[in-house]
Amino acid sequence: MIELSYSKRDVVVPLCKDSKDVLVRSSMEGSMGRVWVAKLNDPKFCLIKLGNYAFLLGLTPRGARMMDLRATLIKECNHAYITPSNDLWDIWLEENLDCNYRKLSRYAIKRDEQHFNKKVLKEYVKNIPAGMKIERIDKNSYNDALKEAWSNDFVSNFENENKFLEYGMGYVIYKGDELVAGCSAYGFSEGMMEVTVATKKEYRRQGLALAAAARFILDCIDKGIYPNWDAANLQSVELAKKLGYVFDKEYKVFQIDNRSLYGEL
């Protein structure tokens, strides 16, 4: 498989242009992520990976190209959530992944900014516990987010600090000097941002994720950006509902665990 630089992504536009997924569009636009194709001239399928998510688009391959794609998936997408773009890719993955994997449920949320109530969102922001402060991610909080695994995703998909501050945005909550929660852009494409939200384990169930997400959504609304929410579990769905989102449907993804082939990676 051939990995495409940011400047060469135009060859996958025909494969990706109908996708509404923020991470697919971001990778197609040459903004973020990694993209592989089997050939540079008129590729028939592509593999996209951005952060912990991977996507398969186009026509399912056979023969040598099937083997090349499978090898790339196993090597590059360990533990990523692999989303088949249609039923044919779902069947292809089940038939061709010759490694340990599991099939998981994720939960799609409808896209409709009319569901948001700014008054309710502002109340969530105001109701953070005493001693907590919420602030927009800047250079200092960018570096704080990178220090711990639970908060790394707030900024880590951007190439560097300057890229995040220029193209991304997010809000974090501090207790004193300790970063305890936040909501940020996991990825971005034209007019959209993918939402990621997290709270440090010992500070959960205090409304911090709700407040940070509400502040992030308010900023998106003011800037004309749609904050896309995709839920990993039913708890995330319930949080999304409180913010004004509406559940759409459950869907399946694949997750490779190739430790048995390559050792612990």
Co-location of 132 and 207 in the same domain = yes
Strands (E), 52-190: 53-58, 81-84, 101-109, 132-136, 170-175, 178-189
Pair (60, 144) in one structural domain: no
129 with 236, same domain? yes
Helix 208-223 / helix 118-126 crossing angle, nearest 10 deg: 140
Look at residues 181, 248, 237 and name the one whose alpha carbon lies nearest to residue 213.
181
121 plus 237 within the same structural domain: yes
Residue 207 falls inside a structural domain: yes
Is the pLDDT assigned to residue 73 strictly greater than 60?
yes
The answer on 172 and 103 residing in a single domain is: no
pLDDT tens-place string over residues 21-50: 999 999 999 999 999 999 999 999 999 999
Model confidence pLDDT, tens digit, residues 13-29: 999 999 999 999 999 99
Q: How far is it, in rounded angstroms, from Cα 79 to Cα 93?
A: 15
Q: What is the CATH number of the domain that holds 175?
A: 3.40.630.30
Domain count, the chain: 2
What are the φ and ψ backbone dihedral angles of 234, each rounded to 5 degrees? -70, -25
**Which percentage of the chain shows pLDDT scores above 70?**
97
pLDDT bucket at 265, cuts 50 / 70 / 90: very low
Q: State the pLDDT at residue 259.
A: 60
CATH number at residue 14: 3.40.630.110
DSSP, res 243? H
248 occurs within a structural domain: no
200-239 pLDDT, tens digit each: 999 999 999 999 999 999 999 999 999 999 999 999 999 9
Domain containing residue 54: 2-107+253-261
| Same domain flag for 90 and 157 | no
pTM, 2 dp: 0.92
